[in-house]
């Protein structure tokens, strides 16, 4: 049985909040132990908590803002479009990915794929 739509929405909301203000450990805790992460799609697939934590640790020290644009939840899967703004070293980088996440029965993320490329980045 898949996680309920309500639970999936809660996790996506928490995920975006933690990407903005949380730690790599807090974000990683949203994932199942054997989860996969592919960000962006076409890059190396990271598997397991250590690899996922390593990925989010690169974003943790950055000043970050997120804004949900659209969310769809069906059968334990979420597809959502959001905007993420980071400010590394005095510059502003804006990316507008679409992420697809699958969830286990407990509402933990089992896979995440982020769809974006160079054309989706703005620098200012």
Q: Catalytic site residues?
A: 15, 39
Residue in this structure with the two tokens 């803002």, named with its chain if needed: 65
Tokens of residue 8, six digits: 């999936």
Checking DSSP bridges between strand 31-38 and strand 109-115, what pairing results, if any? parallel
Cα–Cα distances in angstroms (integers) from residue 80 to residues 24, 26, 67, 117, in the given order:
21, 20, 11, 16
């Amino acid at each position: 049985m898949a996680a309920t739509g309500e639970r999936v929405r809660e996790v996506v909301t928490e995920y975006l909040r933690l990407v903005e203000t949380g730690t790599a450990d807090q974000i990683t805790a949203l994932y199942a132990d054997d989860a996969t992460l592919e960000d962006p799609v076409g890059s190396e697939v990271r598997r397991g908590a250590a690899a996922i934590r390593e990925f989010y640790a690169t974003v943790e020290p950055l000043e970050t803002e997120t804004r949900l644009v659209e969310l769809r939840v069906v059968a334990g899967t979420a597809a959502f479009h959001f905007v993420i703004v980071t400010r590394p070293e005095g510059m502003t980088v804006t990316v507008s990915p679409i992420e697809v996440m699958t969830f286990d029965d407990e509402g933990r993320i089992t896979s995440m794929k982020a769809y974006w490329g160079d054309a989706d980045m703005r620098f200012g």
